[in-house]
Amino acid sequence: MKSGWVDRDAETIVAAGAKSGIDRDLALRIYTTRLLGRDPKLVLHGGGNTSLKEVMRDRLGADVEVLRVKATGADMAMIDLAGLPAVRLLPLRKLRALGEIGDDELVGIERASLIDPAAANPSVEIMLHAFLPHKFVDHTHATAVLSVIDQPDGEKKCAEVFGGRLAFVPYVMPGFGLAKKAIDVFERAKPSDGLILSKHGIVTFGESAREAYERMIEMVSRAEEFIARRRKAAMAPARRGTAEVAQIAPIVRGACSEKDKTTEGAWRRLVLEFRATDAVLNFVNAKDLARLSQAGVVTPDHTIRTKNWPLVLPAPDPGKLAEFARVAHDTADQFAARYHRYFEQHNARVGHIKRELDPLPRVVLVPGLGLFGLGRTKRDAEIAADIAEAWVEGVSDAEAIGRFESISEADMFDCEYWPLEQAKLGTRKEPPLMGQIAVVTGAGGAIGAATAKALAAAGAEVALLDVNFAAAREQAKTIGPSALPVVCDVTSAASVRAAFDAVAAAFGGVDITVSNAGAAWQGRIGEVDEEVMRKSFELNFYGHQRVAQAAVKIMLTQGTGGCLLFNVSKQAVNPGPNFGPYGIPKAAELALMRQYALDYGADGIRANAVNADRIRSGLLTADMIASRSRARGLSEKDYMSGNLLGREVTADDVAQAFLHQALALKTTADVTTVDGGNIAAAMR
């Protein structure tokens, strides 16, 4: 591991800080915190912290000694002043005299000692920083260090690798107890560079930001070199393609869902993130996977993201997927039952004061394929997968130099159910479609894009399919980094298959499909060319059938129901003159929706349609609006609002109708009219 320190960068940040009253030490504290935070081998998703002790002037003009420590949950790679709240040091230091202190009381004292009362909560490891006397303290859960110390003889290995420059602190749960233990060890051993926190991580300190940082890099490098000398060469494993991942992922996802006990027809679902690096494949294909996979976390705070063990499935045989699905469901049920027992046992130990989290796995290992991270959102799934990859590396390397050993199950429980750890996840009210995956076709157009946005705003992960990839990508960008643009020509069976494979591989499956792609052809029906009719049917009927078939296949594999939504347009029920080539396949599409509702209701798959009219879109362009309103002798505004309510109907109105249908768990075979009122087009 190389030091990331660059003099010029350091001076740039010092100079920039000086302009806004940030002193040199603080600017360099920000600089090295970012250096640590940007390397995932050192710090992953909030798992590390830094601090600085300095004298600052408080609001009353008095000089006070403060500890600036990373805010809990703050991203070190992007840290700024607000991410390093200042806390009066003296009251914190006095706490050392106490034997024990409750979490709430401790947080209360910390908050009361903040210089800025509105500042963020300091890191859960604040007391460790407060008790150590050094000006700069850096703490990480560096993967290589964990491999060295997560061992039955971790203390011996620590002495061997770090040559006495780091003192060894036996495992204590993070928090006040660990801080007291660490300062006791420090005062007794007086190490020159820092501390090893057994089964947890490393602390380095120094009188300058650079000294503490360079010591961290040097110590982690020592661990890396120690491992590299002993690591056995791994084989380059065989890799499977997207199509196979797309076949397996919906089985895994279905197995790792649970019925929502409060609402009939609702499910608690997770989103998947797939990884198959060489390291992951070597791990999941290892002979002793059964032992390694159950060995526990590499550092305690990972437990809130990955739980303490992954779900391990057998290697799938592509020719026997039904058998794989049966075993996957059984194994997932056993996982949930084991998690429940684990909770019951340890909750009894602590006096029945905890509330059980959901028992669904957050990491799934599939030999021959790779690993899945699972989460309520795509982002959470990615975080779980990142941590699972670090865990794979940590355990594999620990085995290369000895035998991996984690903390006890009781210790894991105490961390997993520690309120201060859970607080890192934040309190969020879950939006109604959270955990669901939606596919929208024609998503580069006005109605498709508005619908994708509405579903995403309700918490769904969205895939935007369009024959025009650039248009889909543009719209996806406005939704966020998780929105997935996919090229899809719904007139091609191969293209639809590839698009749904891409969605299943990216998110794990599909729950909601909005079949919206379409285009209009015109012609007087007795004279229209058959080729025109066939073209329109290919897109406006078969396109919907292909998309619905692809979606239903995945939904049946998941076994958690689903929702098919169709844009049928007013033409399906109220044909316009010379619009036969468009209206007739749209009428067939309406029948298609009803057939899906009929044939798949028993599988919990709902099918509904929106009947919309006169929406500004690719089918009704500004030029068309101008010429049609002129032809009728109306203003454009009067033309667009020519309905019973006298209101223009927008793509957002259509999107809200689709969203309503996605949420209405007791509604199927329904047509919702969104046209401002048109009696001739009313359903009968």
Q: Which is nearer to Zn ion, 107 or 651 (CB)?
A: 107
| Minimum gap (Å) between residue 68 Cβ and Zn ion | 18
Tokens of 251: 């089985």
| Minimum gap (Å) between residue 124 Cβ and Zn ion | 8
Nearest to residue 386, comparing CAs of 252, 503, 251, 274?
274
Cα–Cα distance, 388 to 70 (Å, whole number) = 24
Cα–Cα distance, 123 to 577 (Å, whole number) = 69
What 8-state DSSP symbol labels residue 449?
H
Cα–Cα distance, 33 to 28 (Å, whole number) = 8
Which amino acid, 655? A
CA dihedral defined by 505, 508, 511, 514, rounded to 10 degrees? -20
Q: Which is nearer to Zn ion, 422 or 595 (CB)?
A: 422
Cα–Cα distance, 479 to 502 (Å, whole number) = 19
| Minimum gap (Å) between residue 172 Cβ and Zn ion | 12
| Minimum gap (Å) between residue 141 Cβ and Zn ion | 6
Tokens of 109: 């004292």
Quick check: helix, strand or coil at residue 88?
Answer: strand
Active-site hit among 213, 582, 596, 600: 582
Q: Which is nearer to Zn ion, 70 or 275 (CB)?
A: 70
Q: Which is nearer to Zn ion, 171 or 342 (CB)?
A: 171
Cβ atoms of residues 443 and 475 within 8 Å? yes
37 binds Zn ion (CB under 5 A): no
**Binding to Zn ion (CB under 5 A): which residues in 283-302?**
none
Cα–Cα distance, 373 to 504 (Å, whole number) = 14
**Binding to Zn ion (CB under 5 A): which residues in 85-114?**
none
Q: Which is nearer to Zn ion, 138 or 589 (CB)?
A: 138
Tokens of 156: 């011996």
Q: Which is nearer to Zn ion, 72 or 661 (CB)?
A: 72
Q: Which is nearer to Zn ion, 201 or 370 (CB)?
A: 201
| Minimum gap (Å) between residue 179 Cβ and Zn ion | 11
Span from 197-205, 303-311, 418-426, 610-618 in contact with Zn ion (CB under 5 A) = 197-205
Kindly write down the DSSP assignment for every residue of 330-388, as one continuous string. Answer: HHHHHHHHHHHHHHHHHHHHTTS---PPP---SEEEETTTEEEEEESSHHHHHHHHHHH
Alpha carbons within 13 angstroms on the beta-carbon side of residue 469 total 6
Alpha carbons within 13 angstroms on the beta-carbon side of residue 542 total 13
**Binding to Zn ion (CB under 5 A): which residues in 39-78?**
none
| Minimum gap (Å) between residue 497 Cβ and Zn ion | 46
**φ, ψ for residue 54, nearest 5 deg:** -155, 175
What 8-state DSSP symbol labels residue 316?
P
Cβ atoms of residues 274 and 242 within 8 Å? no
| Minimum gap (Å) between residue 31 Cβ and Zn ion | 21
Q: Specify the residue for token string 């050392």.
A: 96
**Binding residues for Zn ion, how many (CB under 5 A)?**
1
The residues, any chain, with a CB within 8 Å of residue 608's CB and separated by 6 or more, are 563, 564, 565, 566, 593, 597, 661, 664, 667, 668, 669, 670, 671, 672
Is 582 annotated in the active site? Answer: yes
| Minimum gap (Å) between residue 118 Cβ and Zn ion | 26
Nearest to residue 132, comparing CAs of 174, 190, 171?
190
Span from 193-201, 369-377, 408-416, 431-439 in contact with Zn ion (CB under 5 A) = 193-201
| Minimum gap (Å) between residue 38 Cβ and Zn ion | 18
Span from 22-30, 113-121, 196-204, 394-402 in contact with Zn ion (CB under 5 A) = 196-204
Q: Specify the residue for token string 């199950």.
A: 409
Cβ atoms of residues 71 and 110 within 8 Å? no
**Binding to Zn ion (CB under 5 A): which residues in 199-238?**
201
Cβ atoms of residues 611 and 569 within 8 Å? yes
**Binding to Zn ion (CB under 5 A): which residues in 448-507?**
none
Q: Which is nearer to Zn ion, 150 or 675 (CB)?
A: 150
Q: Which is nearer to Zn ion, 185 or 563 (CB)?
A: 185
- Give the residue at shortest CB distance from Zn ion: 201
For the window 245-284, what string marks contact with Zn ion as x by the rule CB under 5 A? ----------------------------------------
Span from 194-202, 547-555, 557-565, 636-644 in contact with Zn ion (CB under 5 A) = 194-202
**Binding to Zn ion (CB under 5 A): which residues in 113-132?**
none
Q: Which is nearer to Zn ion, 201 or 445 (CB)?
A: 201
| Minimum gap (Å) between residue 426 Cβ and Zn ion | 19
Catalytic residues: 582
Binding region for Zn ion (CB under 5 A) = 201
